[in-house]
Structure 1
Amino acid sequence: MSSHIASAIGHPNIALIKYWGNRDHNLRLPSNGSLSMTLGDLETVTQVTFDPSMTEDRLYLNENAISGPSLDRVSLHLDVIRTMAKLSFKAEIISHSNFPVGAGIASSASGFAALTVAAAAAAGLELNPSQLSRIARLGSGSACRSIFGGYVEWKAGTNDHNSFAETIADQDHWDLVDIIVIVEEGHKSVGSTSGHKLAESSPLQDARIHDTERRLSICRQAILQRDFLSLASIVEEDSNMMHAIMMTSRPQLLYWRPETVAIMKSIQEWRHAGMQVCFTIDAGPNVHCLCPSRYKDQVGDLLKQIPGVIRLIHSVPGGAAHLLPIKSPSID
């Protein structure tokens, strides 16, 4: 049975140019390309065991047995790998994350990246990173970016085979820090999968998609040239554009809390005063505050003074999803 067990680690990522909306929901083919930074201090560790004695898949997240739609989604993803490996065994999946799940910190990205790497290895498949990225995309679109480390671009592609991510700069290229400002710990009311399906109902989505290549080009160059002011401008613009789609979808999605807006305004004021800092917000109320590492203490102290801030989570750029030595965690 040892050949049917594998463990892997995956990191979430913060999208600098956002993925929002699909042109094919089943294959998670995105409406637009995207660009992100992998977050090295946040992680999901997942162990997969394919067991011929099991009659159904079992999923444990942070010590809790999971059933219903979340288990179904994982089982469907495992089916892709089982089909590729010509394997029929059901699986036990044990997964732990060291950050809030379902709160706009890309927990599905790290989760499905780790799951893909571990399950593929446990099933005996030898896949390259591009293949792993394509498969991870089927479970969670942003997971295709978490297969890679550093600064990562997801090419929208034209079909299932050429829509995957690649690294444009490694994790040591630029010493940015992501300070995640937690204003709400719980699960968001509408998950990203549902939100992607609503995107096309916004009258603004077509214009956003049409403009994507411009934003990607500016962001890509800003990263490669380590030009923070250019990065700040385009990252905030792109984040606001995505939330404009959410707010004009039918039904409307409003993830922001009053604290979210207060943090956004404060960050812009600090930048106008000369500090290198900017914000971006995924599908949730929590704010990602980006700055060069030399500003992290100053920015962190200022953020803590804003009413409603529960806590801060810091992360530097991180590496690719990869296999880990096998452990034997027990579930009581």
Structure 2
Amino acid sequence: MNKKDFIYSNYNKTVPFIKNGVIKKISYSNIALIKYWGKSKNNIQIPSNSSISYRLNNVYTVTKIIYKMNDRKNSKFYFKFLFSGKEHTFFYLRMKKFFHRIFVYCSYLRNFNFIIETNNTFPHSSGIASSASSISSIALCIMDIEKKLINSLTKSFILKKASFLARLGSGSACRSIYTGLSVWGAHKLIKGSNNFYSIPYPYTVHPIFRKIEDTILIIDDKPKKILSSKGHQLMNNHPYAKERFKHANNNMVQLISILKSGNIKKFGILIEQEALNLHAMIMTSNPYYLCFQPNTIEVIQNIWKYRIKSKKNIYFTLDAGANIHILYPIQEKKTIFKWIKNNLYHFYKNIIESFCIWN
């Protein structure tokens, strides 16, 4: 499918035009295994390399949208945005930009006024992809409205367009639409992969990767000093950008083989390399900056020491923040989680028990 396929057309005129209603949706955050970092200069929200992520349990946004038909002759499009019950100027401006980008694909939105309320189960803007769960939940609400206008829409189309719309608000948000593993960004070895919306990972996945625990350590619950959108822009003139994009796509090739074989050790080493490679790009950009906190490094070093000593399959990854995702097979949860609680408690402010959602 291409962009034109997602432009709204009210071809089903037998459906009465809805006037008002309330929609509530939940969408989950995700954690990228192969990271995307950098966007096309000439297109909106087009990634410079393909990426793949797990969708996470217990880390989600609940969005409620109250919509009411406006007076189209006298009224302009209006929305009110509340985060955790409060108005927030930054989020309002971000939503304004989001609506501006999607109007061409959802022209019916101009006929309504909205009150949008979102609540997270985790800290926003701290490197746990809060924008991914937030924007994707809003996109799912919008597609619920479109479904009421065109009752012939298929579930497959609704999910694809929701991912397409979510991408226009936050790149990683497009990967939060599907359970399990999601791929975003065209890759020559992944059938159906594209730059406009995510797809469920289409190939064989060994059972060990269908039950992966993700224990998230909140080391810093404050918003990041530099937002991811700015970090992506800094890749435009980054001296190592081309090699990074090439390396990420090559790592995707390795991961396809690993997911099929069930080699958990190769999986863990690959995702750690990806995380550190991402932060290497951050630390060598111009201007350069640092997402790590001292306790981030302490946790990483403790994981490495424990892995060598115990021979357990415990690995880490990070997004563009200080907080750490500790990944390990569910079969080893009892021992590993006990070690985390007993040995890492003085490095983090909060802990979230999560796991990778799979149907």
Give the TM-score normalised by structure 1: 0.88
Match of 1:168 in 2: 201
> In the superposition, relative to structure 1, how do residues 211 and 72 fare at CA in structure 2: closer, same or farther (>3 Å)?
same
> In the superposition, relative to structure 1, how do residues 316 and 187 fare at CA in structure 2: closer, same or farther (>3 Å)?
same
Written as runs of structure 1 = structure 2, the 5 A alignment for 1:41-190 is 41-53=58-70, 56-67=78-89, 69-87=90-108, 88=110, 89-123=112-146, 124=149, 126=153, 127-156=157-186, 162-168=195-201, 174-190=210-226
Give the TM-score normalised by structure 2: 0.81
- Deviation of 1:128 after TM superposition, in Å, equals 2.9
Q: Which amino acid aligns with 1:148?
A: Y
Q: Which amino acid aligns with 2:88?
A: I
Written as runs of structure 1 = structure 2, the 5 A alignment for 1:1-332 is 4-24=21-41, 27-53=44-70, 56-67=78-89, 69-87=90-108, 88=110, 89-123=112-146, 124=149, 126=153, 127-156=157-186, 162-168=195-201, 174-273=210-309, 274-304=311-341, 305-306=343-344, 307-318=346-357
Match of 2:7 in 1: none
Deviations 1:197-218 (A, max 9, x none): 1123332221111122210111
Q: Which amino acid aligns with 1:288?
A: H
The 2-side partners of 1:223 and 1:48 are apart by 38
The 1-side partners of 2:51 and 2:316 are apart by 17
The 2-side partners of 1:113 and 1:250 are apart by 31
Range with bigger deviation, 214-223 or 146-155 = 214-223
Q: How many residues align?
A: 317
Q: Comparing both chains, which one has the higher relative contact order based on Cα–Cα distances under 8 Å and sequence gaps of 6 or more?
A: 1
Structure 1: segments with no counterpart, 5+ residues = 321-332
Q: Which amino acid aligns with 1:167?
A: P
Q: Which amino acid aligns with 1:133?
A: S
Indicate the SS of the match to 1:39: strand
- Deviation of 1:186 after TM superposition, in Å, equals 1.2
Structure 2: segments with no counterpart, 5+ residues = 1-17, 189-193
- Deviation of 1:47 after TM superposition, in Å, equals 1.6
Tell me if structure 1 keeps the 8 A contact 2:30–2:56: yes
Moved over 6 A (4+): 169-172
Greater gyration radius: 2
The 2-side partners of 1:2 and 1:269 are apart by 60
> In the superposition, relative to structure 1, how do residues 186 and 288 fare at CA in structure 2: closer, same or farther (>3 Å)?
same
- Deviation of 1:97 after TM superposition, in Å, equals 1.1
Indicate the SS of the match to 1:13: strand
- Deviation of 1:171 after TM superposition, in Å, equals 12
> In the superposition, relative to structure 1, how do residues 309 and 183 fare at CA in structure 2: closer, same or farther (>3 Å)?
same
* Cα RMSD after superposing both structures: 2.4
Range with bigger deviation, 77-86 or 232-241 = 77-86
> In the superposition, relative to structure 1, how do residues 157 and 62 fare at CA in structure 2: closer, same or farther (>3 Å)?
farther
